[in-house]
Copies of this chain bind each other. A is one copy, B any other.
């Protein structure tokens, strides 16, 4: 499929240019941890979508390259900080940066990636007006994603976590983030404000749809950690299923559910995980999540229909890719 090839080609280009932005062999206690992390993989989907969108809207994708790199740098900054915040020790079969280099170096390496994101955006070969717009996109995405992360890490302890709160959290944490590359590509292309607004809206439905699917995968196929089912439960992650169950369960189930979610990773037993899975089934959480995500995907396609450009192919391909294939 065309879009996958484009992502692959642009992704390879981005990988090359990232090495110019952050030379891997510098002895500064920053490039080593950053490249330990960068080499664990990642398909560079976000920057590729930036370039693809720019091109599809008639812009010159090479003008969007700095912003595409910025998006990827910011993405990895969040991964470095999130791994510390979530206590994740392994990412794609490698020790996470905080495990290998210590928390101090991991915080710092993340901070540095963000500096790189701003530095490279400031070097974009575009007009001052567009540059300011790109910096605004980068900043609001950064701000909203941090706000979402704050809700996320505190959700597991919150008694009144609900589907609405989950949606607010993932809209903040994944919505802006997913749209920002596309929005940046659109800005560089010089397209109208109306188109840009619709791309933001698209992110706010596609992001949560993608996240709910991701939550479901954890309970059906497991998340690439040797296919172990229920990592989110073990981690106490505030998933869609948890938000739904917490909202509809009887007092007794709700109490035990919260107790299990609040347990540390090591304390959570296999029996606990099985009990949570059974409770999710009892309250039809999986089915509800599936329907909820499908509805969001439908909304995404409606938004695409409303984008005021003639050829909507690229947006349909991106939506299909993000909501069907990436999982």
Cβ-defined contact, B154 with A112, below 8 A: no
Residues of B within 8 A of A115 (CB): 139, 142-143, 146
Other A-B contacts than A112-B146, A114-B114, 20 sampled, CB-CB below 8 A, are A28-B150, A29-B151, A29-B153, A30-B146, A30-B147, A84-B104, A84-B107, A85-B108, A103-B103, A108-B149, A108-B153, A111-B146, A114-B142, A115-B142, A118-B135, A118-B138, A118-B139, A122-B139, A128-B128, A128-B132
> Do the beta carbons of A122 and B132 come within 8 Å of each other?
yes
Supposing A85-B103, A122-B135, A139-B115 touch, asked if A108 and B146 sit within 8 A by C-beta, the answer is yes
Q: Inside 8 A of A105's CB, which chain B residues have their CB?
A: 150, 153-154
Cβ of A311 to closest chain B Cβ, rounded Å: 32
Chain B CB within 8 A of A198 CB? no
Q: Is A131 an interface residue (CB 8 A)?
A: yes
Closest to A115 in B: B143
Per-position binary interface string of chain A over residues 82-115, scored 1 when its CB falls under 8 Å from any chain B CB and 0 otherwise:
0011100000000000000001110111011011
CB nearest neighbor in B for A78 = B111
Question: A33: nearest residue on chain B (CB-CB)?
Answer: B150
Instruction: Tell me, yes or no, whether A237 is within 8 Å of chain B by CB.
Output: no
Measured in the bound complex, the distance between the Cα atoms of B147 and A115 in whole Å is: 10
Does B107 lie within 8 Å of A150, measured CB to CB?
Answer: no
Shortest Cβ gap from A206 to chain B (Å): 23
Chain B residues whose C-beta falls within 8 Å of the C-beta of A28 in the assembled complex: 147, 150-151
Q: State how many angstroms separate the Cβ of A64 from the closest Cβ of chain B.
A: 18
Cβ-based interface call for A136 (8 A): yes
Contact partner of A132 (CB less than 8 A), chosen from B104, B132, B140, B142, is B132
A63-82 toward B: CB 8 Å interface, digit per residue (1/0)? Answer: 00000000000000000010
- B-chain residues with CB within 8 Å of residue A136 when the two chains form the complex: 122
- Give A10-38 as 1s and 0s: 1 = Cβ < 8 Å from B's Cβ atoms: 00000000000000000011100000000
Please give the number of chain A residues whose Cβ is less than 8 angstroms from any Cβ of chain B in the complex.
Answer: 39
A interface residues (Cβ-Cβ under 8 A, vs B): 28-30, 81, 84-86, 103-105, 107-109, 111-112, 114-116, 118-119, 122, 128-129, 131-132, 135-136, 138-140, 142-143, 146-147, 149-151, 153-154
Residues from chain B with a CB closer than 8 A to the CB of A146 are: 30, 108, 111-112, 115
Chain B residue at smallest Cβ distance from A114: B114
Q: How far is the CA of A103 from the CA of B29 in the complex (A)?
A: 21
Q: How far is the CB of A237 from chain B (nearest CB, A)?
A: 13
Measured CA separation A143–B128 after assembly (Å): 22
> Which residues on the B side are within 8 Å of A150 (C-beta)?
28-30, 105, 108-109, 112
Q: List 11 A-B contacts (CB under 8 A).
A: A30-B146, A30-B147, A81-B107, A85-B107, A107-B107, A108-B149, A112-B147, A118-B135, A118-B138, A122-B132, A128-B132
CA distance A301 to B112 in the complex (A): 33
**Within the assembled complex, what's the spacing in Å between the Cα atoms of A116 and B147?**
12
- Closest Cβ of chain B to A112, distance in Å, is 5
Q: Which residues of B contact A138 (CB under 8 A)?
A: 118
